[in-house]
Structure 1
Amino acid sequence: MYRPAERDQFKAQRDQAVAKLAQQTPKRERFGSPERVAAEANPTQSMPNPITDGHNGIERSR
C-alpha cells in the first residue's frame, strides 16, 4: 500500500486532473449538469454526437 503522504499526493493529482477535465468539457456535455439534463429532457435540442461532430473522445493534446 501507499504511505499516507504518497496517497495524498495521488489524490491531489487526481483532483487536479478531474478539475481540468471539467473546465475543458462544455457544460452541456457534462454528466449530471443542469444544461445536459435539460437538453436530454427536451427532444427538440439534440445532444452532441462525438462520431458526427468529428472527434472520437480520445484525441490527444499537443
Structure 2
Amino acid sequence: FLTLRSDLEAALDANYRLNDALLEELKSQVLAAIEADAQAVELAVETPSRASEGTEVTT
C-alpha cells in the first residue's frame, strides 16, 4: 500500500509540474499573440488605408 501511495504521489507531483510548464508555455504564446495583434493595430493606425486614399472627408 505504501509503495502504491508513494507512486501515486510521485505521479501527481509530476503532473503538477507538467501542468505548470504547460501553463507557462500557454501564457507565453498568448502574450506573444497579444503583442503581435497590438503591433498590427498600431501599424494599421499609422498606415492610411487604400480605401481612404484620394477621398475627401467633409464634416
TM-score interval for Structure 1 and Structure 2 normalised by the shorter chain: 0.3 to 0.5
Higher relative contact order (CA 8 A, sep 6+): 1
Query: Normalising by the residue count of structure 1, what TM-score does the alignment of the two structures yield?
Result: 0.43
Query: Relative to total residues, which structure has the larger helix share, 1 or 2?
Result: 2
